[in-house]
Chains A and B, each alone.
Chain A
Amino acid sequence: MDVEKIFLLTACLMILLNVFIQWQVYIKKNIITFSINSLILAFFLLLLGYEKGEKTLYLIAILTIIVRVVFIPRFMIVRLSKDHWREREIYPIMGTASAIICSILVVILGYIVYTFTLYDFLKIRSGALPIAIILQGLFLIISKRNTFVQLIGYMIMENGVLLFGAKLFPGLPLIFEAGIVLDLIGIVMISEIVNRLRENYVPEELEDIEELKG
């Protein structure tokens, strides 16, 4: 089994799904896409574990499936279904076409940045793909108003980092991974509470708040 090819396939699929999230306006579809995104990552971790004979990678893959594929998306969808008006991004900052173009441009930017910086040390050409995923996540946060999508952007960034770590330095300590997952659950829970409060005040567009400037 060629790990390199599977890695390329995994990363490319994740990038494509991220482009889909970028232009999709229905939040529920975004959440499901993120879940599939995480599932692909988990599969890669399982295969890598099998190839390298690392039991830790199996455990990390199972942890990813439980938390990122099932628990968090389910939690978000349940929360979403309580307020129907939150199901769609009402005022997207960017139109569909420009969102797709920008997301692809971000991938190219990731490749260029990686080639001129990290490639010199790592000597692995495909390392550019996880960096592109991280930048796509960041771009998603910047380009969307909906807080659920911003949260998905954050989790995509984290998926990119985990993919990067798994490919380049497999076998991160399990306790570290467990900590990352616990933090992620905490962030999602707290964000949900804050967003619920925030949308009570600013349902559609943010007003200018004088005291939060300068």
Chain B
Amino acid sequence: MQNLIYYSPLILTLIAGLISILKQKGIAEFISAAISLYVLVAALVILKNPDFHSNYLFIDNISKLMIFTVASIYAATVIYSISYVKYIKNPLFHKNHYFVWINLFAFTMFFSVMVNNLGLLWVGIEATTITSALLIAIEGKKDSIEATWRYILIVSCGLIISLLGTIFIYGELHSLNIVQANFSAVGDKIIVIGSLLAIVGYGTKAGIFPMHTWLPDVHGKAPSPVSAIFSGVLLPVALYGVYRVSHLHYSDEIRNFMFVLGFLTVIVSSLLMTVQKFYKRLYAYSSMENMGIVLIGIALGGRALTGALIIIVAHAFAKSAVFYLTGNILIRFNDTKIKNVKGLIKKMPFTAYCLFFAVLAATGAPPFATFFGEIMIFSKLISIHGWVLALILGVFIAIAFISANYYTGLMIFTEKEKDIKERKSLVNYIPLINVILAFGTIFYIKFFI
């Protein structure tokens, strides 16, 4: 009975999903908000509790941190969505069903980061595709439906590679239990091949090069709260899968492979960021760049892994704030092009200031926690691979930083053209809270890791 708290995120999100099926006005919103806040409290309690291993669950420090991150962004997204869904003009399905899917989506993410079985981890990550697909398409526009189909197809095919990898891992270890599997492999090549395949597959879901193509489409076309939860926590949940399979066996091949993939992801995303015309796609590539950096952190291990965890938490808060704010802009401007959004500072000052700081936080500007995370990764990178690689990586991160902030600046600090007013809603404070939490990550993270 005392272990029930560990199961509560799974049970409660499932209950919230089921209750939201009811079509009574307001019930889905109320239940989802109440349960998401309760789950956030439960996540905080789990953070303080000791590790927990059972036949079904495996909760160590990394899992706890992921549970906390998922719970935070889930709660913020549900509350923000209550106000946002009103602006969806012709939803594909009843608005209550939006909450059904978002609760089930949270359930599958919690399941993925808590389960004590590499096979079920795969099942959980694949299930996130099912539960999130219709959330992308809810606005019923031609391009959002096309993006949804691309998402289903590319991610599912990528995850097939992970399935193959997981079967290899099972063939070598004769068990998929994470407790038994951790660092138990004896250096057979089969486990290395299995891990590499699984990393490629989970990398697809995390937006890692070369199978990242679904990511900007989906982030660009999904409703803003959905983009926020995708960018903030879905990508890190997939990287959690990468982390688990890469820790079955200590191998330089696996680490170098992850390092190269992460490096290429940073290069590709930062170069693509320079030519973006649409602001949501720009921020999507920024998420991809951050996931590349996190993958490098996982590959390097040690303090770089700590840096990667800091980035995951801080980026989740910062980037979700960015996407909530793009929601505010989209509602008022009704345009996704960067050049058509001008004079935010005069027309929507609250959104403008929040966006300015949120983008700084997401792109790793000091004194935000992402900056300190990057510094930790850099110091490990220099000690392992030397200055040259660190310098090259630094240049590309700088390109991404300048691109994101330059385009954001174009939207904020230009002359006003349209007569637009700030949206008045209490949920506007969610991005502000998230930016503050992103800033504060560096102070509270030490209690968790």
Q: How far is the CB of A41 from chain B (nearest CB, A)?
A: 15
A89–B82 CA distance with the chains assembled, in angstroms: 42
Q: How far is the CB of A125 from chain B (nearest CB, A)?
A: 16
The answer to whether A154 has its CB under 8 Å from any CB of chain B is: yes
Do A191 and B157 touch (CB < 8 A)? no
Do B336 and A209 touch (CB < 8 A)? no
Q: Count chain B CB atoms within 10 A of each CB in A164, A193, A197, A206 and give the residue with the most.
A: A197
Do A211 and B123 touch (CB < 8 A)? no
Report A92-114 CB contacts with B as 1/0, cut-off 8 Å: 00000000000000000000000
Count, chain B residues at interface, CB 8 A: 50
A120–B140 CA distance with the chains assembled, in angstroms: 50
CB-CB under 8 A for A175 and B120, given A183-B127, A186-B130, A190-B133 = yes
Q: In the complex, what residues of B have CB within 8 A of residue A158's CB? A: 160, 163
Give chain A interface residues in 152-195, CB to chain B under 8 Å. Answer: 154, 157-158, 161, 164-165, 168-169, 172-173, 175-176, 179-180, 182-183, 186-187, 189-191, 193-195
Q: In the complex, what residues of A have CB within 8 A of residue B168's CB? A: 169
Give chain A interface residues in 62-107, CB to chain B under 8 Å. Answer: none
Give chain B interface residues in 246-276, CB to chain A under 8 Å. Answer: 272, 275-276
Q: In the complex, what residues of B have CB within 8 A of residue A194's CB? A: 133-134, 137, 145, 148-149, 152
Q: In the complex, what residues of A have CB within 8 A of residue B117's CB? A: 173, 175-176
The answer to whether B189 has its CB under 8 Å from any CB of chain A is: yes
Q: In the complex, what residues of B have CB within 8 A of residue A211's CB? A: 143, 220-221, 278, 281, 336
Report B150-179 CB contacts with A as 1/0, cut-off 8 Å: 101100110010011011101100001000
The answer, among A122, A164, A190, A214, for a CB contact under 8 Å with B152, is A190
The answer to whether B76 has its CB under 8 Å from any CB of chain A is: no
A189–B101 CA distance with the chains assembled, in angstroms: 14
A180–B117 CA distance with the chains assembled, in angstroms: 13
Do A154 and B157 touch (CB < 8 A)? yes
Q: In the complex, what residues of B have CB within 8 A of residue A55's CB? A: none
The answer to whether A118 has its CB under 8 Å from any CB of chain B is: yes
Do B142 and A209 touch (CB < 8 A)? yes
A75–B220 CA distance with the chains assembled, in angstroms: 32
Q: In the complex, what residues of A have CB within 8 A of residue B148's CB? A: 194, 198
The answer to whether B190 has its CB under 8 Å from any CB of chain A is: yes
Do B164 and A214 touch (CB < 8 A)? no
In the complex, the chain A residue whose C-beta lies closest to that of B148 is A194
A206–B150 CA distance with the chains assembled, in angstroms: 12
Do A190 and B167 touch (CB < 8 A)? no
Q: In the complex, what residues of B have CB within 8 A of residue A168's CB? A: 167, 171
In the complex, the chain A residue whose C-beta lies closest to that of B171 is A169
CB-CB under 8 A for A150 and B146, given A179-B123, A197-B137, A214-B275 = no
In the complex, the chain A residue whose C-beta lies closest to that of B123 is A179
The answer, among A182, A189, A198, for a CB contact under 8 Å with B123, is A182
The answer, among B130, B146, B152, B157, for a CB contact under 8 Å with A209, is B146
The answer to whether A11 has its CB under 8 Å from any CB of chain B is: no
Q: How far is the CB of A142 from chain B (nearest CB, A)?
A: 10
The answer, among B153, B167, B217, for a CB contact under 8 Å with A165, is B167
A158–B190 CA distance with the chains assembled, in angstroms: 20
Q: How far is the CB of A64 from chain B (nearest CB, A)?
A: 15
Q: How far is the CB of A136 from chain B (nearest CB, A)?
A: 13
Q: How far is the CB of A48 from chain B (nearest CB, A)?
A: 15
Q: In the complex, what residues of A have CB within 8 A of residue B281's CB? A: 211, 214
Q: How far is the CB of B124 from chain A (nearest CB, A)?
A: 8
Q: In the complex, what residues of A have CB within 8 A of residue B150's CB? A: 212
Q: In the complex, what residues of B have CB within 8 A of residue A183's CB? A: 123, 126-127, 130
Report A125-165 CB contacts with B as 1/0, cut-off 8 Å: 00000000010001001000001001000100110010011
Do A173 and B149 touch (CB < 8 A)? no
CB-CB under 8 A for A134 and B164, given A173-B119, A197-B145 = yes
The answer to whether A50 has its CB under 8 Å from any CB of chain B is: no
A190–B276 CA distance with the chains assembled, in angstroms: 31
A67–B148 CA distance with the chains assembled, in angstroms: 25
The answer, among B146, B171, B176, for a CB contact under 8 Å with A198, is B146
Q: In the complex, what residues of B have CB within 8 A of residue A179's CB? A: 119-120, 122-123
Query: 22 A–B contact pairs at CB < 8 A?
Result: A141-B157, A147-B149, A154-B156, A165-B164, A169-B168, A169-B170, A172-B119, A176-B123, A179-B120, A180-B163, A182-B123, A183-B123, A187-B156, A190-B129, A198-B146, A201-B146, A211-B143, A211-B221, A212-B143, A212-B220, A214-B216, A214-B275
Extra A-B contacts (20), CB below 8 Å, given A141-B153, A190-B134, A197-B92 = A117-B193, A147-B149, A158-B163, A161-B163, A168-B171, A176-B117, A176-B120, A176-B176, A180-B123, A180-B163, A183-B123, A186-B130, A187-B152, A197-B137, A201-B142, A209-B143, A209-B146, A211-B143, A211-B278, A212-B217
The 9 closest A-B pairs by CB, nearest first: A179-B123, A176-B119, A169-B171, A186-B130, A165-B167, A201-B142, A121-B189, A183-B126, A209-B143
- Interface residues, chain A, with chain B CB atoms under 8 Å away: 117-118, 120-122, 134, 138, 141, 147, 150, 154, 157-158, 161, 164-165, 168-169, 172-173, 175-176, 179-180, 182-183, 186-187, 189-191, 193-195, 197-198, 201-202, 206, 209, 211-212, 214
